[in-house]
A and B are shown apart, each in its own frame.
Chain A
Amino acid sequence: MSTELNETQTEAAQSPAELGGATTVGETDERTRAEWVDHEFDGDAKIAVEDLNVYYGDDHALTDISMEIPEGSVTALIGPSGCGKSTFLRCLNRMNDRIGSARIEGSVRIDGEEVYRDRADLVELRKRVGMVFQQPNPFPKSIRDNVSYGPRKHGDLDTTFLSRLLGRDDVDEEASLVEEALEQAALWEEVNDRLDDNALGLSGGQQQRLCIARCLATDPDVILMDEPASALDPIATAKIEDLIEELAEEYTVVVVTHNMQQAARVSDQTAVFLTGGELVEYGDTDQIFENPESQRVEDYVTGKFG
């Protein structure tokens, strides 16, 4: 994909090698970085990212990313494979910490609080910033146990035998929490009669909605979705997309996708990442798809490369 870059670019375009190390925006991009950061939204900025750089060993995976994500909206991250959009997403809940070779510089603030400060509370962060993965990954447990897994492990729910003996019994709380989360994930109707069945017996689309319910059960503000529908069939995909739009009324949703139609359908604003880990353009979805300011973004969204 990146080899086609040169053919489609204008004379002024840089070669891919230069793009990789570039810290300034390409000459073809008329907007400046400062303008993106100050991008005006109707609501408040929920997530503010400043000068984020990520390295995997010697590989510079993300280059000087700055953007603000408004509250209560859907933000789509699009771009070709390997452009760093998933890496960016995983920076927001510090999942990249789990990769030993990853080095992260810069600042990510959620509600004004710095995520990358020392002594940050990862449990609290990940409770507040939930995540849904590309492959549906329910635990090999019952549907009920999957949904209540987070709250039980955080100590918010306690239904063990010992705690019942000691007089604390959250069975009712668990039942209402499970029902609420499954309702929100539009799965309650389909599974309410078999909550004790193993989650691995559900279809792929149901498993993915179960994963969304599991994430909602910890009561997050932000939901990160990493290509949540790419392993699903068109009907299951449509259900997930409807769900994303519903969730945006209550939550801030950031969704990575390589399906541009999907980004256009579900998102309020779109960020385009291109090879080299650069954020090339970020703005309202309509504007990005109909009237992009960068030539490279236009080439990408019209399918000329990538």
Chain B
Amino acid sequence: MSGATEYDLVREDTSTLELGAGATVGFAVVLFGFGLAGLFELVAVTESVAGVQLPRLLGGLLTLASAALAWFGVASHRGLVPTDPRPSAGVVAATGAAGVWFVVGGLVGSQTLGFGTVGWLALALLAGAVGFAATALPREDLGTTLPVAALTGLGGLALLTDVIGPDWAWSPVGLRATFAAPIAIPIIVLFCSLLVGWAGAKAYGGFGARGRHLGAYALVYLNVLSILGVLVGLLAFVFTKGAPVVVQGITVGPGAGPETTIRLFGFAHTVVWPVDWPFVMNGVSLYAEVSGVLPAIVGTVWLVVGAVLFAVPLGVGAAVFLAEYAEEGRFTQVVEVATNALWSTPSIVFGLFGYAFLVPRFGGSKSLLSGMLTLGFMLLPLVVITSREAMLAVPDDYRDASAALGVSKWQTIRSVVVPASLPGVITGVILGVGRIAGETAPILLTMAGATEPSAAETADVVGGFALSSSPPFVTNPALLEATSALPYQLYAIISAGVGGDAAFGWGTALVLLVVVLTFYAVGIASRTYFRRKLHE
């Protein structure tokens, strides 16, 4: 502790200087968000806004923030700003700075100045050493601000002076790839604003313990922001590409939609939909104006329903045995390791098993039923693992209380343990459904039907049930027919190059995303319902 300034218990009113440092942080956050948006092409970084080219504008802002940062550091060192810096910014910060400076030095040496291997390595090491020394040796206020300000200033100036402009492109020697401005500029902005945010937050906190706290806070929050950015960016990316395809041709009005006949054991009822949504109500057809993915949607939904119906009762039953009846010991350990291993088994291995074991046993051709069972096998270990954990987490107090009332073990499990563990069980099912609904490989091997199914190929599982006078008495041909599923159709369209166009693929991807999210929503809603029941 330098002890240069004595702390008052109550800090004085915010000074304009502090406000300046705070504004720098806010600035950095905005720039960071901008960088993320640019990375996902939500903002075109190479365009102009109000006559100013965007890269120049960003560069100018970065330079300005760097200047403010440097000025704050110097002002603090001169004693113009009341701060509480330590003698050094510390080894961790210095190591970070050395790493960043090493990379920048190496890039400038090899790419801009054209040095050979020895040359750029020497320059990189030199830059790293300078970055380390400049951070570690001066007092904390200078060590934090100046190296960061120099680096971000450099980045800002490069953008401002058009050294890295909209037409800039970089082809690294030895790599068959080109980094163009739309990628490079957001990345520069992201890194620079991250550094400015960290140093600015430290400055705002007056360095020292409080400054470090705020610096770490800024880093953590920018990190969270980037995770959210990736998530939102990905969704927005799929949505912007897929939505125009999905919504085309929607008409609303009585009788606008297609007819659907609902059949059950010979009874039939025909419904006319009041809305026509071609992309989700049509199959692929040469005659329809808009081709759709109805068979694949229905296939995916039935797959998930079948797999859940198969895996949940079996998995919960196994979990009851493991958590309530089996003695903790070698056997439960083996089962635990086995279920974990089964959960980590690659899906194509499950697919191969289904292909070799199930398909020949269900009539020799790929079918919906073998797909359901294969995905059910995949889901099973996760249901067992999470249900067992959830049951072990039920307090023994409940079991004691129930036993002391003379209630048998099985009744206790049924009416206390299982209800109390239900939210945990559902969490496992939600996670598992998210995985199996998007699986391609097992479907490819066990149930793949036409890659471009027409509406007539939609699996009619409910209507397929029929009674017969001889065993097995109830038959369902729909379960034994091949059908399509969304991830499989997507794979066929985009990767395997089977007809279709990319836009149709994006539409399919969006529908798949919505179907999976709908399963999530159902799962989360039921989990919330059971949690409420337990606690309210």
A interface residues (Cβ-Cβ under 8 A, vs B): 93, 95, 98, 100, 122-127, 130-131, 133, 135, 137-140, 149-150, 153-154, 197-198, 200-201, 211, 214-215, 218
Contacts and interface: CB of A to CB of B under 8 A. Distances in A.
Contact of A150 (B407, B419, B534): B407
B427 to A, nearest CB: 17
A61 B327 CA distance: 23
B404 A130 contact: yes
Given A139-B401, A140-B420, A200 B535 contact: yes
9 contacts: A95-B404, A98-B400, A135-B397, A137-B398, A137-B400, A140-B535, A153-B408, A198-B535, A215-B405
Interface in B387-444: 395, 397-398, 400-408, 411, 415-416, 419-420
Contacts of A215: 404-405
B13 interface: no
Interface residues of B, number: 22
B407 A133 contact: no
B422 to A, nearest CB: 11
B278 to A, nearest CB: 44
Nearest to B401: A137
B400 to A, nearest CB: 6
The 3 closest A-B pairs by CB, nearest first: A126-B406, A137-B397, A131-B404
Interface of B: 327, 395, 397-398, 400-408, 411, 415-416, 419-420, 533-536
A198 B404 contact: no
B534 A198 contact: yes
A255 B419 CA distance: 32
A279 to B, nearest CB: 23
Nearest to A152: B415
B416 A139 contact: yes
A214 B533 CA distance: 20
A200 to B, nearest CB: 6
B398 A139 contact: yes
A150 B327 contact: no
B406 A218 contact: yes
Contacts of B536: 197-198, 201
B532 to A, nearest CB: 9
A167 B411 CA distance: 24
A95 B401 contact: no
A148 to B, nearest CB: 11
A141 B364 CA distance: 50
B405 A214 contact: yes
A178 to B, nearest CB: 15
B406 to A, nearest CB: 3
B415 A98 contact: no
B183 to A, nearest CB: 53
A95 B400 contact: yes
Contacts of A139: 398, 401-402, 416
A138 B533 CA distance: 14
Given A137-B395, A198-B535, A153 B411 contact: yes
A81 B536 CA distance: 36
Contacts of B401: 133, 137-139, 211, 214
Contacts of A218: 405-406
Contacts of A211: 401
A122 B398 contact: no
B403 A153 contact: no
A137 B535 CA distance: 14
A87 B224 CA distance: 52
Nearest to A211: B401
Contacts of A127: 405-406
B333 to A, nearest CB: 17
Contacts of B535: 140, 198, 200-201
Given A140-B535, A149-B407, A197-B536, 18 more contacts: A95-B403, A95-B404, A125-B406, A126-B403, A130-B405, A137-B397, A137-B398, A150-B405, A150-B407, A153-B402, A153-B408, A153-B411, A198-B534, A198-B535, A198-B536, A200-B535, A201-B535, A218-B406
Contacts of B395: 137
Nearest to B406: A126
A177 to B, nearest CB: 14
A133 B404 CA distance: 10
Contacts of B416: 139
Contact of A133 (B397, B411, B415): B397
Contacts of A214: 401, 405
A204 to B, nearest CB: 13
Nearest to B403: A98
A259 to B, nearest CB: 21
* Residue from A126, A130, A214, A215 with most neighbouring chain B CB atoms (10 Å): A126
Given A139-B416, A198-B534, A201-B536, A153 B407 contact: yes
A122 B404 CA distance: 9
B27 to A, nearest CB: 48
A200 B532 CA distance: 11
A121 to B, nearest CB: 9
A139 B10 CA distance: 49
B397 A123 contact: no
Nearest to B399: A98
Given A140-B534, A200-B535, A133 B406 contact: no
Contacts of A131: 404
A218 B406 CA distance: 9
Contacts of A125: 406
Contacts of B407: 123, 149-150, 153-154
